[in-house]
Structure 1
Amino acid sequence: MKPVVPFILTFSALACSNALADVNYAIDLTSPEHHLAKVEVTFPETTADTLVVNLPVWRTGKYQVLPLGDAVRRFVATDEKGQTLPWSRTASGEWTVKLSEPSEVTVNYQLYANKLGQRVNHIDASHAFLDASGTFVYSPEFRQEPINVALKVPTSWKSYSGMPSGSSEHTFKADNYDILVDSPIETGISQHRSFTADGREYELVVWGEGNYDIEQMVTDLTKLSGQAEVIWDDYPFERYVYMVHATSGARGATEHLNSTIIQRPRFSYRERDDYLGFIKTASHEFIHTWNVKAYRPEGLVPYNYQDEEITELLWIAEGSTSYFQSQLLLRAGVMTPKEFFADLAKRIAQNLKTPGREVQSIASASANQWASSGGDYAVNHSTNIYSEGYLTSLALDFSLITDTKLKGSYRDVHRKLYNEHKLPAGFTIADVKAILEDVSGTSYEDWWQHYVNSPVSLDFDGMLAKAGLALTYGKNAKTEAFTGVTLKSDSLVLSHVLRDGPAWNAGIVLADEIVAINGLKVTAEGFAARINDFKPGDSITVTLFSNDKLKDVELKLGEKQTGKLAIKGVNKPSRAQKAFLKAWLGIDWPFDKNGQFKAVE
């Protein structure tokens, strides 16, 4: 697709050029300095005495209600004769317009677009990022009608979207609002590249300066984009757009119908670990094009933009996507086996330090996602649909590979979900269980009850041994004193107190501020070193402020292992273990005779 070039068509010409049933959007971005835009929407003729106009209260990919309607000001509704229509605000994301006779309705409003980190919208002197959920109102009455979008922008700007271009410059079209809301627009001053992979067209659009290498990004995204066949039989798109924001702090990403928006700090690309963070995110969002955008849980179908949508299967939508992201990069040769297993070891280490895995099931975490707020309570009493969802997917994959004697895997489950449960229908728990039984030849009811419906601490040693792998802290690892607390940055105020840890059991709580240990002042910088003066099992006196009251607490120190958790190959792996790893990851045995990673050529 060629980039769209400077805006020429006027808003009135756009309205006259389209069929009566179309919904026409026009947004004026010619004064972007203060994050403001003028939006105009013309709805087809309605015969009802009211027209409900909505702005979503959440955006796809973020299961959280957001105050998106607060960005709208100067709301005006007029009929086809230009006469002002009365309206009232009937909900946070809803306006009800009153009509005395059948008419088209045109809505105008001022939009404040400064939610860059939320990936909802952002307008400044160099660009505009427009996610329809925070930008364009819709009417439920015309949600399925064809849509035209016209942008009026500074002459130096270029515009990109997963939507096809309209009949003129700086315009796009969509079959309905659901496609518009899942096809963000990036317009402004940016770098652009086009490439192909496995017969599909791709674009990379990067806004912002930074230490990235755009040619390296294209090379690796090309390799990644050609790996879809490892899981699925075909593609749900002909063209895909990777949008990247190199910013001054915003980070995160959101999947869309045939595009993604990825945000990372502008100087977080050059170092290998930083770059791996970027390319893993790109892989995650690319996988979402199937898992979530082409098939998703029944509770999310169709999208209800004005209310929460609850499902116990978000761990499949998000956690399983995280699970596959590094596998595609490994198979593509973008990530080395050493990097892959380092990532897996890091996830296991984090899980072992999360007491919440013993409290909340992954099904409960999925259903609770809309109310999830993170923090100390989450670590101690919750499970994360992304991180623990990844590990649940790992356990399920190992179980399927075992039950099928290496002939089947979790990839087959997602291939069947795509082939058999494409939108507009959503898949249910019963559908997933049926597929698991079909792939494995055995019932997964008990497995589901144990691993999905119940809190679970996974047997990582037993699982990894099937693939000839072992967890290790290194040959020089030793035990050291452990308090079970985490400090806030540059402070002695506690940000986390691990449930059932030494500090927890001593009665130390969140937000306590440590002052001294054994009567001697301690600093934030010296806290860890001070604890290392003691041995596991020692009792120390911690002086702290708790709710502004000074008190002494006797704390018996626990123990933890030093070193970084890693994964290595076992000595003398069996043929069966090597075959299992091959069936799992599609790679040959990557270790030497000492269980260390072979050099990458």
Structure 2
Amino acid sequence: MSRALPAVPSAAPRRLPRLVLALSLALAAGSAGAQPAAGARVPPPQDTPYPGTVAVHVDASDTRQGIFRVHETLPVQAGVLTLLYPKWIPGDHSPSGPVAMLAGLKVSAGGKPLKWTRDEYDVYAFHVDVPEGVSSIDADFQYLSDRSGGYEMTDRMLDLEWNKVALYPAGHFSRRIIFAPSVTLPHGWQFGSALEPAGQTQASRSGDTTRFKPVPFNTLVDSPIYAGQYFKRVDLTPSGGAPVHLDVVADEPKYLEMTPEQVQAHRNLAAQAVKAFGSHHYDHYDFLFSLSEQLGGNGLEHHQSSENGLGADYFTAWKDSAPGRDLLAHEYTHSWDGKFRRPADLWTPNFNVPMGDSLLWVYEGQTQYWGFVLTARAGLWTPAQFRDALAMVAANYQRNREGLQWRTLEDTTNDPTAAHRESLPYRSWQMSEEYYSGGQMLWLAVDAKLRALTHDGKSLDDFARAFFGVDDGSFVTKTYTFDDVVAALDGVAKYDWADFLRARVDALDPPLLDGVQGTGWKLVYTDQPSDYERQYDSRPQSPRHLFNFAWSIGLTLDDHGQVNDVRWDGPAFKAGVSTGATLVAVNGDDYSRDVLKQAITAAKGGTAPIQLLLKFQGGYRTVSVDYHGGLQYPHLVRVQGTPDYLSEIIAARK
């Protein structure tokens, strides 16, 4: 999943008490005669091969209406066949499969229609009675991509995710079902994918249709396609390593232009990652990268590729595009952390068995850590940009940490399922997937502790090589538990790592800023934003274009003055400001970002409140904000007399 954004501010399964568990089982038994259990007609997955190969063809040429047209041919046997639409999507960590976008489903055999019925309790399951003598059936349907914004298909590019355009037979592990995929693209378009064309290049293509080598269904779902009218492939292969490519699609040809220095920085990323982890777990790796103001849904990891997308001017406005540059490093890290090594409760035999998210603070949290570090080691960020980005994360857990007074970091691993990434009215109080950036701060503290314990002889690099670098070249997922993480840390340096980790993931008010000070730096605030933070305010194409006053008055606002978030118990909150309100005027002057900044500056050291005129729910009201601390922007400064571990952490590895 896409890395967390630093500018803005699940619990492990618990055993039921025996009495409650007994009552639950008794009630379940008593009601068994009343109605079948949910999904009872859906065969559970077995580790047995599905007989034959499923052919799936996607016609993705209708860019005007955004319709993916799907045709499948499945070998079958007589009896009831259950087809599943993928529900639990790896990387989303939640039941996010968009089954509502499947339409027009028709099933036939030999040209004659067969009736299908949706399961009464599982909307992702479709049952078909296969007659005697029928050896194959055809399934046709459409996937209707979003046409309201954040498009999956535009007139210049598309993102084809196979989990959205495939039905698969129930009753088998997904790795035991073989699919032969093919796709038809708009004329003249080129594409990037981890899939490999079938046979020789000419034999695999017929006009605008490309056939790919058959693969297990889990591999197919893990191998999306980015295609576009304007396409460029750049070789990033590190010396002596497996092939790595940057496959770029752009809104216009001019956005494909790259300087030699930019290309080299991306080559450095591939090299620095392999040096950090000491291995690779792919035959070849493709960064699928869209540069667009239209294409959405970017930011998802896969074993041999990743879906990435930033503003169209990523290369052409390089000096102003530092925010977001950690995206590629984050998703690339997932090839090791998340795809090869995966929490045991996140591995499932198919895409319709529920996932557990209790260790996302490793899966996503450590990936967030390495995303920042590798971006700096590659030269995609300067050391100052790295520190400024980290300062914003640290400030979030110093000034916007109210929610961690009632929720633990581990409890936020439930958020993908509980909140489905919907907008939240009071994020600083509710918290939102803090296992990303909170997990990042945790792993910075682990790195600092390892260095302190070993007098700078060992670091998190040693953990990464021992934990993620095993079985070089292997594609087989290697799962882990909390105890495995503790044991690997103990192998680097003896310590009570279980208590160290639990104090940060399973306790209220965790010490998430320890890592900053432990690496020889401290968090301070001035009235001037860093160049890195200034880019969030100045560029509409930035990952989260918000005017950020979170550290001072306690507000973030969008371009139009609408309040995006109010810091819980902050000055604006105490004055009665609500999320969703629109700031119309400040001290009697029409609102603008500069007018608000001037008012906050003028109030510093005084006693007069800042008057805000708000429009909300069809009415207007004025609130008085009693804040006199001036503008506040986070920065990191050195703690003299201490080792500068932070600079060592981001130094490029030779």
- TM-score bracket, shorter-length normalisation: 0.7 to 0.9
TM-score by length of 2: 0.76
CA distance in 2, matches of 1:308, 1:115: 29
1:8 aligns with none
SS at match of 1:92: coil
Alignment of 1:426-437 (within 5 A): 426-437=479-490
Q: Residues 239-285 of structure 1: CA distance to partner in whole angstroms, max 9, x if unpaired?
A: 11111112124464211120112112212433335543454211111
Deviates more, 1:172-181 or 1:97-106: 97-106
**Aligned partners of 1:314 and 1:367 also within 8 Å:** no
**Aligned partners of 2:93 and 2:357 also within 8 Å:** no
1:38 aligns with 69
1:361 aligns with 408
**Aligned partners of 2:438 and 2:512 also within 8 Å:** no
CA distance in 2, matches of 1:332, 1:172: 33
1:162 aligns with 194
1:111 aligns with 2:179: no
CA distance in 2, matches of 1:565, 1:258: 37
1:556 aligns with 2:626: yes
1:328 aligns with 374
Structure 1 pair 395–192 and aligned structure 2 pair: CA distance change class (3 A): same
1:416 aligns with 2:486: no
TM-score by length of 1: 0.82
CA distance in 2, matches of 1:115, 1:184: 20
1:300 aligns with 346
Q: 1:237 is matched by which residue type in structure 2?
A: Y
1:484 aligns with 554
Structure 1 pair 369–395 and aligned structure 2 pair: CA distance change class (3 A): farther
2:521 to 458, 462, 469: 469
**Aligned partners of 1:71 and 1:113 also within 8 Å:** yes
SS at match of 2:495: coil
Q: 2:626 is matched by which residue type in structure 1?
A: K
2:591 aligns with 523
**CA-CA distance at 1:524 after TM superposition:** 4.8
Structure 1 pair 174–332 and aligned structure 2 pair: CA distance change class (3 A): same
Aligned-pair identity (%): 21
1:253 aligns with 2:299: yes
Alignment of 1:258-273 (within 5 A): 258-273=304-319
**CA-CA distance at 1:85 after TM superposition:** 1.4
Q: List alignment gaps of at least 5 residues for structure 1.
A: 1-18, 589-601
**CA-CA distance at 1:301 after TM superposition:** 0.2
1:232 aligns with 277
1:584 aligns with 649
**Aligned partners of 1:35 and 1:124 also within 8 Å:** yes
CA distance in 1, matches of 2:599, 2:303: 52
**Aligned partners of 2:584 and 2:615 also within 8 Å:** yes
CA distance in 1, matches of 2:214, 2:149: 26
1:192 to 221, 229, 233: 233
**Aligned partners of 2:405 and 2:509 also within 8 Å:** yes
Q: 1:290 is matched by which residue type in structure 2?
A: W
Deviates more, 1:182-191 or 1:284-293: 182-191
1:202 aligns with 244
1:89 aligns with 2:139: no
**Aligned partners of 2:552 and 2:631 also within 8 Å:** no
**Aligned partners of 1:359 and 1:382 also within 8 Å:** no
What is the RMSD of the two structures over their aligned residues, measured on CA atoms?
3.4
CA distance in 1, matches of 2:242, 2:220: 21
**Aligned partners of 1:450 and 1:456 also within 8 Å:** no
**CA-CA distance at 1:349 after TM superposition:** 2.5
1:591 aligns with none
CA distance in 1, matches of 2:617, 2:518: 50
Deviates more, 1:508-517 or 1:27-36: 508-517
Structure 1 pair 42–268 and aligned structure 2 pair: CA distance change class (3 A): same
2:389 aligns with 343
Structure 1 pair 195–565 and aligned structure 2 pair: CA distance change class (3 A): closer
**CA-CA distance at 1:317 after TM superposition:** 1.3
**CA-CA distance at 1:238 after TM superposition:** 1.8
Alignment of 1:12-51 (within 5 A): 21-47=52-78, 49-51=79-81
1:287 aligns with 333
Structure 1 pair 566–510 and aligned structure 2 pair: CA distance change class (3 A): closer
1:438 aligns with 491
**Aligned partners of 1:26 and 1:150 also within 8 Å:** yes
1:3 aligns with none
**CA-CA distance at 1:107 after TM superposition:** 1.0
Deviates more, 1:352-361 or 1:444-453: 352-361
**Aligned partners of 1:537 and 1:559 also within 8 Å:** no
1:213 aligns with 257
SS at match of 2:468: helix
1:69 aligns with 99
CA distance in 2, matches of 1:481, 1:242: 35
**CA-CA distance at 1:125 after TM superposition:** 4.4
Structure 1 pair 522–192 and aligned structure 2 pair: CA distance change class (3 A): closer
Structure 1 pair 560–439 and aligned structure 2 pair: CA distance change class (3 A): farther
